A and B are shown apart, each in its own frame.
Chain A
């Protein structure tokens, strides 16, 4: 059926209508699929806003990020398709990690120390780190860069794909240039700022490099250490470490691995993590934690049933045609 030209015309001048029509199209394409909850929407939007602010900040503070976000929030984000996956994956990981820890009941009671007990001041320099500890520390630092000062999730600049960062910088610079009245001196300054920001990009400080280094440090000791490290991370609900080890094992990006875990059916977890874990019993806390997370985009049994139904129908029609 051809799309009504009038609808297109109306939508072309009305961003709200355009958004509603796109939403309707997505809904009709998968009416039975669950939709984003308000919490998920808020997280995704917040992450996108902080990302835009951070990238705008790389251009030397001349960009009014509040006005920029107002404009983009009204008109739509350029490159929304590229940003949505990144923001969704970060939001889902944050929801997962934000769940209350369920078994701290085993926490020891507060320690009692004598009032006059001597307590040493820990000084890092006195205690050289092992390769594993150093890699774990770097992983924790890279992970905490993925939060702002208030503990809200964000995309660390170090974790940005260079092409995506370039595209976002150019979009923001273009916006700023329009605001400045297409002044040629401003254009030159913005161009220089974009080049400078890209030159400053430090992916070696990002979570993917930290994950690979931590994996390599554990693997250097032996496969057993890697499996034990992963199992211990699951038992501690130390999800960033576990995601990092799983990602490095599969050579995935960290965010892709997080999304793969969060959207996996329970039955998919064991085969997915078989290269990393020796003991499937270690998976129980992971399955439990994921099961507690509401609104996950898990592939239910429906698509398989549908595939089976399509195959059955094809077989039926095939037989009927054959009989004819």
Chain B
């Protein structure tokens, strides 16, 4: 049981730490200060100054960091005529190197075909859910042992990764298992998970994924793993890409959320230029997150055997959905979108969400590069056995030389703003071709651009 201990300190009117209990003095020293010197902890110093200025007691959460740990505490500042007294309680130290437990979202980003699972200390399942494109999970899984539901297979050395991880309370991957496929047979899958710990450091179980092993076998290794676009980064290695994806998504989401909180001044007013900087940080963070999404997509569509589903779709309906999703963005620039009317249908074959993704990319680009108060048209057409949807804008247009490279990876036509990653059109064309369609551009400088997505037409 934790007993509350209060750590005290005394600050004079000039902001000098004149005395303090040992933990506070140690923190002050690690931050480059010392006893008899100005308080070297910026967050705390700011709170002290505020309390002195207001001549009011202030109680706030405090987060401080030294070279090897983060410190979370509650601080109470009692100002008086001679300075202020600090009372710090609920002092908790967290090593900076402590590995972060990934939220399920980061793990699940690996594959929509995965099942997500969580177990307790005894490897009894307390959660098992199917990803968006995964098979249904087995019935009656609740509370069953992991090894009961999944028949564990030893590796080449006769070891079981999950059991060694359980003994070590550490992460594991590549545990081969077999389980019922729900059709009377058995299927091979692979387990991976991270250990979970509670606030007292106690191990509470695992959280991870189960992936079916029916993915196509890996292609023979190319002569060199380096990609001309990515340089020497091993992004062609799917495992590396997944790790980068998982590792970046969480921190970026936190940076964006925090920067937006500061920018929106939700916790109180700050200087306008600081709020603007925070807005810039959030914008840059969103750009980076978009790039991570694009890279994840890129990796997915470039793997051998990638196939898109053949849904029966209506290009008119999808175009209207895209307009609904981006209409507000267009309104912000005073751009009007002339969308196909409700009764305008264009039956086609393609994967619903992938076609929507392509249309969102085309419409997003059109909005981004169109002048204010301009117009964007979306037209549906049928050309023999092809159904087409065209997005036309009044932007500056693309000359013939640029049209030749606009669908290349990382091609941004010389633009240096933070609007896009240069992967969107490359991905869009790859998707279109994976659906037996194509994506083309028709444009001239000063006359806007017309991007046309064509797909196999379907008779309604």
Residues of B within 8 A of A101 (CB): 94, 197-199
- Cα–Cα, bound, A105→B127 (Å): 27
8 Å CB contact of A37 from B105, B108, B166, B266: B266
Are the CB atoms of B1 and A279 closer together than 8 Å?
A: yes
Residues of B within 8 A of A30 (CB): none
- Cα–Cα, bound, A237→B104 (Å): 19
Are the CB atoms of A103 and B94 closer together than 8 Å?
A: yes
List B80-121 residues whose CB lies under 8 Å from chain A.
89-90, 92-95, 98, 103-105, 108, 115-116, 118, 120
Instruction: Let me know if B307 is at the binding interface, CB within 8 A.
Output: no
8 Å CB contact of B167 from A70, A119, A141, A294: A119
Are the CB atoms of A123 and B145 closer together than 8 Å?
A: yes
Which B residues are within 8 Å of any A CB, using their own CB? 1-4, 61, 69, 72, 74, 89-90, 92-95, 98, 103-105, 108, 115-116, 118, 120, 122-124, 126-127, 129-132, 134, 142-145, 147-148, 152, 160, 163-164, 166-170, 197-202, 204, 257, 260-261, 264, 266-267, 321, 324
Smallest distance from the beta carbon of A136 to chain B beta carbons, Å?
8
Residues of B within 8 A of A70 (CB): 321, 324
8 Å CB contact of A141 from B127, B145, B163: B127
What number of A residues sit within 8 Å (CB to CB) of B? 55
- Listed by A's residue number, 26 A-B pairs whose Cβ atoms lie within 8 Å are A38-B264, A39-B261, A104-B94, A105-B201, A108-B169, A110-B169, A111-B167, A112-B168, A113-B167, A119-B166, A123-B145, A141-B142, A144-B126, A147-B104, A147-B129, A149-B129, A150-B116, A151-B104, A235-B1, A279-B1, A281-B3, A284-B90, A288-B89, A288-B90, A292-B72, A295-B266
8 Å CB contact of A291 from B74, B98, B118: B74
Are the CB atoms of B148 and A125 closer together than 8 Å?
A: yes
Mostly, the A contact residues are loop
Are the CB atoms of A107 and B98 closer together than 8 Å?
A: yes
- Cα–Cα, bound, A138→B126 (Å): 8
Instruction: Let me know if A117 is at the binding interface, CB within 8 A.
Output: yes
Are the CB atoms of B124 and A124 closer together than 8 Å?
A: yes
Mostly, the B contact residues are mixed
- Cα–Cα, bound, A285→B3 (Å): 10
Task: List 16 additional contacts besides A39-B261, A104-B197; criterion CB under 8 Å.
Answer: A38-B261, A105-B201, A108-B169, A121-B147, A122-B122, A124-B145, A125-B148, A138-B143, A149-B134, A150-B104, A150-B131, A235-B199, A236-B204, A281-B4, A291-B61, A291-B74
Are the CB atoms of B2 and A281 closer together than 8 Å?
A: yes
Are the CB atoms of B108 and A150 closer together than 8 Å?
A: yes
- Cα–Cα, bound, A293→B454 (Å): 50
Smallest distance from the beta carbon of A281 to chain B beta carbons, Å?
6
Residues of B within 8 A of A236 (CB): 198-200, 202, 204
- Cα–Cα, bound, A145→B128 (Å): 9
8 Å CB contact of B147 from A110, A112, A123, A152: A123
Instruction: Let me know if A148 is at the binding interface, CB within 8 A.
Output: yes
Smallest distance from the beta carbon of B173 to chain A beta carbons, Å?
16
Residues of B within 8 A of A237 (CB): 198-199
- Cα–Cα, bound, A288→B6 (Å): 13
Residues of A within 8 A of B144 (CB): 124
Are the CB atoms of A140 and B61 closer together than 8 Å?
A: no
Instruction: Let me know if A102 is at the binding interface, CB within 8 A.
Output: yes
8 Å CB contact of B72 from A102, A113, A140, A150: A102
Smallest distance from the beta carbon of B195 to chain A beta carbons, Å?
9
Instruction: Let me know if A238 is at the binding interface, CB within 8 A.
Output: yes
Are the CB atoms of B199 and A113 closer together than 8 Å?
A: no
